Structure 1
């Protein structure tokens, strides 16, 4: 594993990816103007939020696992990063459903409601009961399908690192690239089948497993593993960005719709080079920019934007908020999503993060007692 500089600009890229997802889903408002939908569709295909977040996660989590004393510490850090805002979003969902009348008590199938609640606080986010289908897009918080995929990578990364260490000991470092190519082929074949011959099995694989998405995570791992070699491919991000844009529009003209979650691995590899070059450009000489970057990094709400935005969007659709004023609707949508994310950060995520060392020590001691 190469030495990766601690100073980076990933915070801006995480925000760009999060807002790519937010704006992409804003097209689901039934009052979205055609011009707006076309522009947003193109931009979010050029810069697809979910694959980029998966790639950045693969890169950073590979480093995080190396900096953790043991698997217990590593996994507790990851759980505390993911679950507090998810549970907060679940509580907000329950309050919204019953306090606003979106879900009348007499219409609830309580057995299905119980199963839905279990899914929302664990990892089964693909269960969408019929009694919630009348709200907004029909899926109260549909973005959460990505959470089980991320959790699977958290569990997989220690195994991947052990296998890769064995390959390095055998003087066969190229094998990780063989694995990466295999993941790329699986990704392409899956999305082709999923788009041309959709069925329940492919839907389950798509929304419940890491299989179609493993390429993005492994690519992030490879970039962190061979960081020095990859960062030296170019001294500037602009040529890679130009190549990405040219290839994207060329493929679109030829009839290939390689974008957003279905982005082709070859095209995404070019975009990944743009991301990694941008993440490690030299530090700015502008004092205010560096202060802003530090502030955003210490108060990161990018994950909150991802978690809460569909909840806000579906509530607004259900109540028809600002149906006749598109600019007002977007302003409220973005503002409320940001405010809820900030509230979640300050009230829940930061206090838990401040207790992370104590929680790691507690669970480590409990596990040690159990083993003894």
Structure 2
């Protein structure tokens, strides 16, 4: 099967920028307690239909599938994925450690087991852990956005298993089934745990922070990649059309809420 790699004209960098901007602006308004300002609420209304994190996961599905399809040497694939994540991650950790030391969070707690557990989690893929002595820093987590690293790495490990299905039609069927399972899992988790998120134990929290709740976003990206030659007529050179749809949606629903 011929591998078709979309070129840079697909504007992934622009999509990433828009998604990242949505996340930064949304969380800035939340964490800086700007919700009571009229302008802030208008901005949130505008960016609400552009969910940043799900967009990143969909893009990951598209690009990671493309990467493994292009070169399915498992050793090289995992090496490339790790080189993509860890150098930048370790740089961020060193910078964060220096900043927290200067601000007085590290020295008084350096002998605590929770400190060294935090160090381990920050240099691996378990960034969702935050010890109690850091809960008073900022919004309660020095690098709150890094929780996605664990999910992203789970996506990396998932893709080779998908390629065990050699026939593309079987692969598509499996993807559709897994999308359905992932969505149903979200309904189950939200019904049972979402309302009492602050009172969950570690096991219950991990039920919501693993591959399965986010898998459907990733697999939608994979499905788009597989069917790209069929559906690209709806996306290529259609930026103005999609922007028009977005602003129409915004105008209709904003002025009716």
Q: Which category describes the TM-score, using the shorter chain as reference length?
A: 0.7 to 0.9
C-alpha distance 83-249 of structure 1, shift in aligned 2 (>3 A): farther
2:96 and 2:242 map into 1 onto residues whose CA distance is 42
Aligned to 1:89: 92
CA 1:250–1:32: 2 relative to 1, 3 Å: closer
Runs of 4+ in 1 over 6 A off after TM superposition: 245-255
Please say which of residues 121-130 and 209-218 is displaced more in the overlay: 121-130
Give the corresponding residue for 1:110: 112
Q: Give the match's secondary structure for 1:12.
A: helix
Unpaired segments ≥5 residues, structure 2? none
| Counterpart Cα distance in 1 of 2:194 and 2:252 | 21
| TM-score normalised over the length of structure 2 | 0.83
User: Contact between 2:45 and 2:254, CA under 8 Å: does it hold in 1?
Assistant: no
* Alpha-carbon distance in structure 2 between the residues aligned to 1:41 and 1:16: 14
Shift of 1:72: 1.2
Rounded Cα–Cα distance in structure 2 between residues aligned with 1:249 and 1:206: 34
1:230 Cα deviation from its structure 2 partner: 1.9
Q: 1:68 aligns with which of 58, 66, 71?
A: 71
Residue in 1 aligned with 2:215? 214
> How many equivalent residue pairs?
250
Residue aligning to 1:149: 151
Measure how far apart 1:80 and its partner are.
Answer: 1.0
Counterpart of 1:78?
81
**TM-score, length-normalised on structure 1?**
0.59
Corresponding position of 2:229: 228
Answer yes or no: is the 8 Å Cα contact 2:126–2:149 preserved in 1. Answer: no
Does the C-alpha gap of structure 1 residues 135 and 6 become closer, same or farther in structure 2, counting only changes over 3 Å?
Answer: same
2:109 touches 2:115 (CA, 8 Å); kept in 1? no
1:5: Cα distance to partner?
A: 2.9
**Separation in structure 2 between the aligned mates of residue 174 and residue 249 of structure 1, nearest angstrom:** 38
| Cα root mean square deviation, aligned | 3.0
Match of 1:177 in 2: 176
Q: 1:217 deviation in Å?
A: 0.3
Residue 205 of structure 1 is matched in structure 2 by 207
Relative to structure 1, the CA distance from residue 173 to residue 83 in structure 2 (aligned partners, 3 Å threshold; closer, same or farther) is closer
- 1:41 is matched with 44
Q: Deviations over 1:9-58 (max 9, x none)?
A: 11111111112211122121246762343134223321111100000010
Structure 2 equivalent of residue 10 of structure 1:
12
Classify 1:148/1:249 alpha carbon distance in 2 versus 1 (closer, same or farther; 3 Å).
farther
How many Å separate the matches in 1 of 2:167 and 2:254?
41
Unaligned runs of 5+ in 1: 256-372
Distance apart, 1:85 and its partner CA = 1.2
Conserved in 1, the CA contact under 8 Å of 2:172 and 2:223?
no
